Amino acid sequence: MDMVLEADRLGKRYGSTWALRDCSLHLPAGRIAALVGPNGAGKSTLLHLAVGLLKPDAGAVRVFGRSPYGDTEGLADIGFVAQDTPLYRDFTASELVIAGGKLNKRWDATLARQRLAQLGIPPDKAVGKLSGGQRAQVALALALAKQPRLLLLDEPVASLDPLARREFLQSLMGSVAESGTTVLLSSHLLADLERVCDYLIVLNASQVQLTGAVDDLVAGHRQLVGPRHDGGAIGGVAAVIRASHTDRQSTLLVRTDGPVTDPAWTVREVSLEDVVLAYLADGTTQTSHSEWGVAA
Amino acid sequence: MIWLTWRQHRKQAFYTVLGFVALAALLVPIGLSMRNTFSDLGLTDCVSQLARADVAQTTRETCEAGFQRFGSQYGSLNLVAVLLITLPALVGLFWGAPLVAREVEHGTHRFVWTQGVGRTRWALVKFGLVGAAVVILAAAYGLGMSWWVDPLTQAAYEGRLGMIVFDLQGIAPIGYTLFAVALGVFAGTVWKRMLPAMGITLAGFIGVRAAVEILARPHYQPARTQTFPIAGEGSPEISRGDWILTQGVRNPDGTMVAEDTRIQCPPGGKGPDGRVCGAELGLEPGAYNWQLYQPADRFWLFQGIETGIFVALAVLLLYLAVRRIRRIA
């Protein structure tokens, strides 16, 4: 399988804190991948490393087999929309299309203009005066005009209202479906991306918790409900991800490596969201009682 | 890249040029009237006559009187000159500091540095274009100021080498302005916010300028010494335009008796108490006036050295800025 993005024990440190640590993952070509994790999990850091804005402090990241930091040629293949879709606010959309043409060797200005016309974006209005949704669409149109083979979007819908969110994702899907572009888009909410992605990377506390194709992940996890469980092995279960117990009953979310045939357990299928929440809850919360000066 | 730079900064460039033109509109009439008065008082002649060694005592006295009249009429303009010195710093604040800091503050660096050009080239083109514009502006400013301040400097003893007027004219403003812009750019890559970057730029600019001016400039060339006797007719002979670093009266054995002063007594003159002139100060017979100075004809040499120092500092800062830009995400 062709790998677009590969990270191998990738790490990035700010001062003495690791924003990303021991991050290993592979993103196969042609996927629409969701990068999900709570705020501060290291999603932006990972994307910045992938687009070459940051230099890794440990490990390596490769995009199309090249190390992106300081690689200007490689940039041509990567489209990037940063968080809050920063654009020169006093430029009009049409000026931004011209600017993109001056800044890139490969640039499809016609495509960008057509997209923006289709979306009803005014060409001669400063983009700072457009709505958040329109501005995000302009940023996306500019990223797509590069005709990238990999499109990275950092929280593209976080600041949009639900309607604009849907429109944005629809127009994104519409355009990458034709070109076969690999997409990696991040969000702190899975719900935003669940309907569009077919690949998932879950980051939490600067580490990769889960990665894989959505279908495999859903198929590979089950919820088991049965008598109170003491931690012993269950046939067909590779790992217990999360367990909750009442006095007599246990509810487990497990990764399976075969059919669970033990009749003591009721096996239920899980949604993608169940899986993600189970992995996110796995990371322990750091308490800060001493900083607050209160008793634990 | 060039198109982008122009599009981004055209408004700012327009207002800068507008301000520059307004300033010229204000200063040119003042300069013209100053020059008229200067020649009306016959001071243009004086300048050429005083430059000769065999100038007559009467000519010298009339000329001194003329310079004094000119000075009392236009001396307040020296304050304007002091204000004009701040212009390079302002260019550094408003052109240098925001160049990178504004992009980072607005997040647009993530847009522009992930296009196909790469940030090193982005930085070089931006610095190059802004630098070129600044050089043109500063050269116009330096030449204009040379013309404007010329009568004021002619009328002052120190001449063009004096503090403030030296900084105002010639090619030195090019060095100062480039340095201010480079300092602003560098501060912007370190603090990444416009206001702190501007503050640091201002403080740094003042600090470095003052340090170079006070500590380094007097030593660009070994200073010359000159001595002349304390007895003599008329007013003491001072070569106009020399930059006097220190002066005083020394005894024959070389010990400094009175600093920052000079003495002239008529031949055989007596002090107030009837003793030999200067005896009340502890002067022994044979005492002489002494001065350490930089001669006026070193003006362009000093301008060149001063400009070179600041251009070198600017290049260093821009190099460091490019290196820092590679670390900003």
**What is the per-residue pLDDT across A175-200, written as a single tens digit (0 to 9) for each?**
888 888 999 999 888 877 888 889 99
How far, CA to CA in Å, does A243 sit from each of A227, A248, A266, A293, B177?
12, 13, 14, 32, 67
Both tokens of B305, joined, read 């050295």
- CA of B110, closest CA in chain A: separation in Å? 6
Residue-level pLDDT at B236: 55
Chain A residues within 8 Å of chain B (Cβ atoms): 48, 51-55, 70, 72, 75-76, 78, 80, 82-84, 86-91, 95, 98-100, 102-106, 139, 142, 146
pTM over 0.95: no
Closest CA to A219 of A191, A279, A259: A259
* Contact flag B326-A51 (C-beta cutoff 8 Å): no
Alpha helix positions (H), chain A: 43-50, 72-75, 93-103, 109-118, 132-145, 162-179, 190-193, 214-219, 272-282, 289-292
- The first and second tokens of residue B190, run together, are 């370190």
Q: Which residues of chain B does A105 touch, with a Cβ-Cβ cutoff of 8 Å?
A: 116
Instruction: Calculate mean pLDDT across residues B294-307.
Output: 92
Is pLDDT at B195 greater than 90 in this prediction?
Answer: yes
- Do the Cβ atoms of A98 and B113 come within 8 Å? no
Residue A265 CB contacts under 8 Å (≥ 6 apart), including other chains: A224, A225, A226, A234
Mean pLDDT of B277-297: 82
Q: Tell me the pLDDT of chain A averaged across its residues.
A: 89
β-strand A78-81 against A150-153: which pairing, if any? parallel
Nearest to A72 among B7, B106, B118 (CB): B118
Report the alpha-carbon angle B71-B76-B82, nearest 5.
115
How far apart, in whole angstroms, are the C-alpha atoms of residue A136 and residue B71?
64
Contact yes or no for B329 and A75 at CB 8 A: no
Alpha carbons A181 and A79: distance in angstroms, whole number? 10
E strand or H helix at B245: strand B243-250
Residue pair A77/A68 in contact (Cβ under 8 Å)? The answer is no
Q: What is the pLDDT of residue B229?
A: 81
Which of A24, A27, A10, A8 is closest to A212 using CA atoms? Answer: A27
pLDDT by residue (tens digit) across A38-91? 888 889 999 999 999 999 999 999 999 999 998 888 889 999 999 989 999 999
pLDDT of residue B247 exceeding 90, the answer is: no
Q: How many CB pairs under 8 A join A and B?
A: 71
pLDDT tens digits for range B17-70: 999 999 999 999 999 999 999 888 888 888 888 777 677 778 888 888 888 888
CATH superfamily to which A3-215 belongs: P-loop containing nucleotide triphosphate hydrolases (3.40.50.300)
- Sorted by where each begins, the domain ranges of chain A are 3-215, 220-282
CB contact under 8 A, B116 and A104: yes
